[in-house]
Amino acid sequence: MNRNKFSFRSFFSLINQLHPQYIKFFVGILLGFISAGANLFVPQLAQKLINNFKSISPTLAILTVVIFIAGLITSALSGLLLGIFGENIVSKLRKQLWQKLLKMPVKYFDDVKTGEISSRLVNDTSQVKDLLASTLPNAMTSLLQFVGALVIMLAMDWRMTLLMFVAVPLVILVMLPVMNQSRKIGRVRQDELAKFASDSTDVLGEVRLVKSSNGEEHELAKGNRRIDNLYHVGRKEALINSVTQPITNILMMIMFLGILGYGAIRVMNGAMTMGALVSFLMYLFQIISPIVVISQLFNNMAKTSGATERIQQILTEPEEFAADKAEKDIASAPLKFENVDFAYEEGKPVLRDVSFETKPNAVVAFAGPSGGGKSTIFSLIERFYQPTGGEILIGEENIENVDLAKWREQIGLVSQDAAVMPGTIRDNLTYGLRREVSDEELWDALRMAYADGFVSEMEDQLETEIGERGIKLSGGQRQRIAIARAFLRDPKILMLDEATASLDAESEAMVQKALGDLMQGRTTLVIAHRLSTIVDADKIYFIENGTVSGAGTHQELLKTTPLYAQYVKDQFK
């Protein structure tokens, strides 16, 4: 799409995907046309009232008031229908975007800032609604009002109309460069708003890091730069608006004074009645208003062009979920990596020719230096990413052929950051479960995770709000909530990503006991940092620089892999 040109085809292609209730739109437009028609009729009645001022007909006066009020009512009904139509559109569009975002692969969120996505979801959709439900219908009714008033004015006095009409091309010619600049600035403004929203979301989301690192001055300076950028864009926009308004006003004033002067001469010469002059001036005002509305249309089209393009970009992104996949039970099947390669960015491999196999109900540990690729292996198993080479099998089936939701339903991940959602303890325990869970079952899971003690001591127990990112819980408590959630999921494959790495000794002991119980009777993959976990594993894979440089039990690796022996000595001395 041309970045500087609004495309009705692209815009309505986006709208048609939402199956809008066009009946409301067309009825709203029709009522707007009726209101515009009433407004065009009122000056004619006003002309008769003024010309017959000494003997005003009560019927004519009442008719004038009735038509005027009817125009107001139909205009209000038109606005109501179009407003409901617009809200329906923006609601459907946001639902479609939200559904799309939740189905998009993790890689997309690696590349795009959360604040920018939020801006697309809120600001860009609102821009689409404003154009469709407000600016465009207003422009259509204004166009009818403009043409209708022009035709009536020509019928009333073509000479005065010709005088007025000379100024219209001048207005358009003068305003075209200004409108083009407005279009460009509108797009820049939307982009800068999205960047500012993204940066502020990132900073406020990590406000504790900012404060503990004395980062206030840095973030203040960074935020001020963004605000200054917005200010400079806004200043240019203000300049455009400040130029637009006076030019329009001057041209309209010249037109008005010229017509008024010429009309006064014609009234004095008897070629025109006073009522006709007043009526003509009323039509003149009805022509001025549409010119302003149509100029606003071009400005909003400029802003909506960028919004439409960005929304379409999101909607055309590939999704990670695919239909017609097998729903395989993975309980008794071995998991195998066969010559797997992976890179987050092209030309920068993270994993190279990785091969290993896990037997059902076995404990497999991955050890090695930080940054070697251990967590990436877990991400590939979770199917957050696809291998760039080789394949991952469950039994003899490529995991890509297994229904993604069913696959993840059978996998439980407990990581060192113990991700939790804002809400209650109950909400977090049952998060993602597709079944009803009783309180008794929740307390059983908490007991198995050694979390029932601290939860029962809380005033609201299961209904306790844990705050954003679980800030009201300690690290150990968050971990045990995550483990309790894993108990409820009853996964076939359990993955532990250094689950006790950041805990104090007491919390680590409690979590380790819970993990020991959770590992019973299921395939367990462990990224290990504790010697006891490595020693007790059925098999250990030593991952270094994205490759498997050794495999076997603890004792076997000590004898066959010098790098492993050195790693154990360095890590656990």
The count of domains in the chain is 2
Residue 359, in any domain of the structure: yes
Residue 386, in any domain of the structure: yes
Same domain membership, residue 56 and residue 78: yes
As a whole number of angstroms, the distance between CA 388 and CA 381 comes to: 14
Same domain membership, residue 440 and residue 372: yes
| pLDDT tens per residue, range 144-155 | 888 888 888 788
Same domain membership, residue 311 and residue 339: no
As a whole number of angstroms, the distance between CA 203 and CA 216 comes to: 10
For residue 321, the model assigns a pLDDT of: 67
For residue 531, the model assigns a pLDDT of: 67
As a whole number of angstroms, the distance between CA 347 and CA 345 comes to: 6
311 has a pLDDT exceeding 60 = yes
412 has a pLDDT exceeding 50 = yes
Tokens of 142: 């204004």
Same domain membership, residue 431 and residue 311: no
Same domain membership, residue 377 and residue 306: no
Burial of 161 (0-12, 13-18, 19+ CB in 10 A): buried
Residue 255, in any domain of the structure: no
2 has a pLDDT exceeding 50 = no
Residue 170, in any domain of the structure: no
Same domain membership, residue 494 and residue 452: yes
Residue 195, in any domain of the structure: no
Same domain membership, residue 460 and residue 393: yes
For residue 532, the model assigns a pLDDT of: 65
CATH of the domain at 384: 3.40.50.300
Question: Nearest Cα to 291, choosing from 474, 445, 188, 165?
Answer: 165
Q: How does residue 54 score in pLDDT terms, banded at 50, 70 and 90?
A: low
Average pLDDT in the 246-261 region? 73
Q: How does residue 398 score in pLDDT terms, banded at 50, 70 and 90?
A: confident
109 vs 510 pLDDT, higher one: 109
Cβ-contact 208, 468 below 8 angstroms = no
Average pLDDT in the 529-549 region? 79
CATH of the domain at 25: 1.20.1560.10
The one-letter amino acid at 428 = N
Range in 103-107, 464-468, 494-498, 515-519 the model is least confident about: 515-519
For residue 432, the model assigns a pLDDT of: 74
For residue 511, the model assigns a pLDDT of: 65
Residue 188, in any domain of the structure: no
Average pLDDT in the 125-137 region? 77
For residue 105, the model assigns a pLDDT of: 81
Average pLDDT in the 123-140 region? 77
The HSE-up count of residue 195 (CA atoms within 13 Å, CB side) is: 15
| pLDDT tens per residue, range 10-21 | 777 777 777 877
Same domain membership, residue 29 and residue 70: yes
503 has a pLDDT exceeding 60 = no
Average pLDDT in the 133-159 region? 79
| pLDDT tens per residue, range 23-51 | 888 888 888 888 888 877 777 777 777 77
| pLDDT tens per residue, range 186-240 | 777 777 777 777 777 777 666 655 665 566 777 788 788 888 888 888 888 787 7
User: What is the rounded average pLDDT for all residues in the chain?
Assistant: 77
Average pLDDT in the 355-366 region? 86
Domain assignment of residue 62, given as a range: 1-155+289-319
In the chain, % of residues over pLDDT 70 = 84
For residue 50, the model assigns a pLDDT of: 74
Same domain membership, residue 339 and residue 304: no
Q: Is 392 helix (H, G, I), strand (E, B) or coil?
A: strand
Average pLDDT in the 442-471 region? 78
Q: pTM of the full predicted structure?
A: 0.68
552 has a pLDDT exceeding 70 = yes
Same domain membership, residue 73 and residue 26: yes
Q: How does residue 1 score in pLDDT terms, banded at 50, 70 and 90?
A: very low
Three-class DSSP labels, 48-98:
HHHHCHHHCCHHHHHHHHHHHHHHHHHHHHHHHHHHHHHHHHHHHHHHHHH
Same domain membership, residue 340 and residue 315: no
For residue 507, the model assigns a pLDDT of: 59
Tokens of 452: 């029932």
278 has a pLDDT exceeding 60 = yes
Q: Which residues of 502-522 are buried (b: 16+ CB within 10 A; e: fewer)?
A: ebeeebbebbbebbeebbeeb
423 has a pLDDT exceeding 50 = yes
Residue 180, in any domain of the structure: no
Same domain membership, residue 295 and residue 367: no
Q: Which residues of 180-202 are buried (b: 16+ CB within 10 A; e: fewer)?
A: ebbbebbbbbbbbbbbbbbbebe
Phi, psi at 353, each rounded to 5° = 55, 45
